A = this chain, B = another copy of it.
Amino acid sequence: MTEKKENILSAALELFAQEGFKSTSTSKLAAQAGVSEGLIFRHFKSKEGLLKALMDLGEERLEYIFADIITESDPQEVINKALTALKTVAADPEQAHFWKLQYKLKWETETYDDSKVEPIKVALTNAFEKLGYSYPEKEAQLILILMDGMVTKLFLSQNFDINETVDILIEKYKE
């Protein structure tokens, strides 16, 4: 991986997450990365190819975050970790960009790809079951809905305190 190729990737992450995929032109991208426009196509073949490369990197990050939640054995901790993950993501600008890009693309292309969050849902369902909840799968679904809602507020609302909200939720789920 050459330096210029890395520059393209990080410029793409920033611009796609900020302006959206369709709205980011390859010429603007090349300018931001400090390379010629042609180099983008040399390395990634097409604009879509660049996006794919970026998404593959994002998936690695996602799996890293998820691994910690899935391997947790204490059911209460599974819920805590799932919720706290959002705080971690929000605190790191680069991770935040990856998540923002994920959601922007969801809405731009209208593909949710439930399979990616499926392991988390399973882990949450098991956790709620161990804790004696009546409808563990519905409870897990509710957590995922809350996460989508918090991500929406996190990236689109100005006055949203994710840390406070997550803490309130953790407190609620302690009962």
Contacts and interface: CB of A to CB of B under 8 A. Distances in A.
Contact of A149 (B138, B147, B157, B158): B147
A103 B107 CA distance: 8
Contacts of A141: 165
A121 to B, nearest CB: 12
Interface string A103-130: 1101110111010000000000000000
Oligomer: number of copies: 2
Interface band, chain A: 20 to 34
A107 B110 contact: no
A137 to B, nearest CB: 11
A146 to B, nearest CB: 6
A92 B152 CA distance: 24
Given A112-B156, A138-B164, A149-B149, 19 more contacts: A20-B107, A20-B108, A22-B22, A103-B107, A104-B108, A106-B152, A106-B156, A107-B107, A108-B108, A114-B157, A135-B168, A138-B165, A141-B165, A144-B149, A145-B152, A145-B153, A146-B146, A148-B148, A148-B152
A150 interface: yes
Contacts of A20: 22, 107-108
